[in-house]
Structure 1
Amino acid sequence: MRAPTSLVSNGRVSNLESDPPEMRCRPDAARSGDVEVLVPREVPLGGPRAMTVRRTLPQKQRSLIGAWCFVDHYGPDDVSMTGGMDVAPHPHTGLQTVSWLFAGQVEHRDSAGVHALIRPGELNLMTSGAGIAHSEVSTSETSALHGVQLWVALPASALGGPRDFQHHVPSAIPAGDASVRVFLGALAGSTSPVTTFTPLLGAEIVLPPGGSVPLEVDARFEHGVLVDTGSIIASGTELARAELGYLGPGRSEISLTNPGSGDARVLLLGGPPFGEDIVMWWNFVGRTHEDIVAAREEWEAGSERFGVVSGYVGRRSRLPAPGLPGGRLRPRAHPDR
């Protein structure tokens, strides 16, 4: 655990939907055929001038890619128009949060005592363990926010572990025509030192106009290609900006080509199909309906399970949990099962 004064990076914006969908996510039995294109839906992050994020995971047709269970993509967002990011203390269970910025800065505080500044090009990973709370506020110097917000589901063996925080600044390395920053796992001869609880891959890849790169990947993994800027042809399938291309296990290579006249930037995410059923609702990941009910009740009661976030000054002291749906949280149908 780092001291509260450390100015390293971390952060994840809460799921602020007032009526978050109920979801029980089963392990994917993913196919290794054509690239599946997941189109984002827009979700406001609260308030009359809300930031809007483009959410590509989870969806009805696909809930996880490896242990990656949540993918939000936002910006460039004009802070003068939206008011920027001001997310009051909120809880998490059963997951790791990953923040990766392209532009702007966000101040993060959490109940593990970390006070951090999120900066572009720096990995920021927070582990909830049994429970954590944190806040995020864009800095006064920020004119535009642009980045991704990701969750990784923890395996059952790590659900009761301690809160944790890790920070890593990956170097850009050449690969074919591309520039690659590996923030989790290994790719193109670069390996991240960051600890995860299941095998994962996370990398930013920038391709110049007309550029291409063949990437050797772990054939056990399923992968997602999220397009941030421009468009990309991923193993024969063109993906537009903000789309997420899914590639099932069984591939030892993924080819990326930029057909456009400007730079294209993507995130490549991957991991072996997650071997456990999970229940995900609002900011909680558990294994059963009862896990979610208990976490919500403890957050609303101010339980020590989530601790206290010190130093946050914002519009409200904490985010209240939405009401639970009327029935039990149930599994969604999966196309590969």
Structure 2
Amino acid sequence: MQLLTAREVPLGGLRALMVRRTLPHRNRSFIGAWCFVDHYGPDRIAADGSGGMDVAPHPHTGLQTVSWLFEGEIEHRDSAGFHAFVRPQEVNLMTAGHGIAHSEVSTPATRVLHGVQLWVALPESARDGERTFEHYAAPGSPLPDDAGVAYVFLGHLHGVAESPVATHTPLLGAQLDLAPGARLTLALDPTYEHGILLDAGDVAITQAVPAGEAPTGGGGRTSHHELSFGDMACFDPGRNHLTLTSSGGARLILLGGPPFEEEIVMWWNFVGRSHEDIVAAREQWEAGSDRYGAVPGYAGPRPRIPAPALP
């Protein structure tokens, strides 16, 4: 097990929202095709809207954005013409393809904002495709052993539920709500990498140590790890199950996917394959290129977020 701790970074420029970022990390770039994990809140929002989210139109290339909330409501607008809201247990999945622009704003009625913002790197076969958008309300599905409830928003969680949302590589994304006193043996796809992010409560992870990895070289034992708030435990392929226990209950995000073997260059809001890809994407955004289009209906304090200078 590899443990990643988050770093705090500002998101959104003028009215920056502080987020905890676990991917990309200096010790790990991917979990499957998941290449970006921001975890934020719970953040209180004043009646005048101060402290909320107002991310002006900005561009993306070569990726999918996945918005998932625990509390609050966010209004999404994009240059493909989609206007939608995301609420708890609902997912907004936006595919940038060759290029898209979008805005995200917490709604006036929102008093607490709490969730995750995730990115998926698109494979070569899809990274220059059309911009698209999907919205899906994930139903709660009971976990085995009366351990709680799962909301599967992408992919398939064995023996629990499956999401109909389309992805370009195999992926797993789910919220797990563990009941107090839960002991859950979670079935995993052994071809996947996995990550478990703790959002609330307490959880301990027990795993079998494969042969050859124990200090004696023999295997046949178990390891036990307790996570702290905001930690993400990561696992390479080869595990077919983990045991999760919680004394007081917990809320987790489970991510997975087969190793993403393509090399990428990720900078600011762009995923490309070379330095030249990134330079061109930035120049076209600054020039107002049709590659990204316009975001209709956004009425924030500034019309767009300018790209930072290249390092």
* TM-score of the pair, normalised by structure 2: 0.90
Alignment check: 8 A CA contact 1:51 1:82 kept: no
Change in Cα spacing, 1:178 to 1:197, as seen in structure 2 (3 Å) is same
Q: Deviations over 1:9-28 (max 9, x none)?
A: xxxxxxxxxxxxxxxxxxxx
Give the Cα–Cα distance (whole angstroms) in 2 for the partners of residues 48 and 111 of structure 1. 21
Letter in 2 for 1:196: T
Q: CA deviation at 1:45?
A: 2.2
How far the C-alpha of 1:213 sits from its partner, in A, is 0.8
Q: Aligned to 2:113, what secondary structure does the other structure show?
A: strand
- How far the C-alpha of 1:318 sits from its partner, in A, is 0.2
CA contact (8 A) 2:39 2:117 kept: yes
* 1:49 CA displacement: 6.4
Q: Which 10-residue stretch deviates more, 313-322 or 46-55?
A: 46-55
Matched, 1:270 2:256: yes
> For 1:129 and 1:48, how far apart are their aligned partners in 2?
27
Q: Is 2:96 the partner of 1:128?
A: yes
Q: Confirm whether residue 250 of structure 1 aligns to residue 238 of structure 2.
A: yes
Aligned counterparts, 1:83-232, within 5 A: 83-175=51-143, 176=145, 177-187=147-157, 188-232=159-203
The structure 1 segments of at least 4 consecutive aligned residues displaced by more than 3 Å after TM superposition are: 46-50
Amino acid at match of 1:37: L
Alignment partner, residue 31 of structure 2: 65
| Cα distance in 2 for residues equivalent to 1:182 and 1:221 | 16
Partner of 1:56: 22
Write 1 or 2 for the structure with the bigger share of strand.
2
Match of 2:226 in 1: 238
Return the alpha-carbon distance in structure 2 between the equivalents of residues 271 and 51 of structure 1.
Answer: 29
Question: Counterpart of 2:303?
Answer: 317
- Structure 1: state its 5+ residue gaps: 1-34, 326-337
Aligned-CA RMSD value: 1.3
- Given the alignment of the two structures, is residue 281 of structure 1 paired with residue 247 of structure 2, yes or no? no
Q: Is the 8 A contact 1:67 1:154 kept in 2?
A: yes
Aligned mates of 2:280, 2:21 — CA distance in 1 = 27
Q: Secondary structure at the match of 2:125?
A: helix
SS at match of 2:308: coil
Which string of whole-angstrom CA distances, capped at 9 and with x for unpartnered residues, describes residues 220-248 of structure 1? 00100001101211232111111010011
Please say if residues 186 and 192 of structure 1, whose CA atoms lie closer than 8 Å, have aligned partners that are also in contact.
Answer: yes
Percentage of pairs with the same residue: 61
Q: Deviations over 1:184-226 (max 9, x none)?
A: 1111331111110000000100112221211111100010000
Based on CA coordinates, which of the two structures has the bigger radius of gyration?
Answer: 2
Count of residue correspondences = 289
Structure 2 residue identity aligned to 1:215? L
Q: Decide whether the 8 Å contact of 1:50 with 1:82 is kept in 2.
A: no
- Secondary structure in structure 1 of the residue aligned to 2:181: coil
Contact 2:204 2:226 in 1 (8 A): yes
Instruction: Structure 2 unaligned segments of length 5 or more: list them.
Output: 207-223
Distance 1:307 1:278 in 2: 24
Structure 1, residues 241-267: CA drift from partner, whole Å, max 9, x if none?
Answer: 1101001110111221113x3x20001
Matched-pair contact (CA < 8 Å) for 1:100–1:122? yes
- Higher relative CO (Cα under 8 Å, sequence separation at least 6) belongs to 1
1:9 is aligned to none
Give the CA deviation at 1:84. Answer: 0.3
Counterparts of 1:212 and 1:162, CA distance in 2: 43
The letter for the 2-side match of 1:300 is E
- Equivalent AA in structure 2 for residue 249 of structure 1: P
- Give distance in 1, aligned partners of 2:50 and 2:178: 30
- Tell me, yes or no, if the aligned pair for 1:180 and 1:203 is still in contact at 8 Å: yes
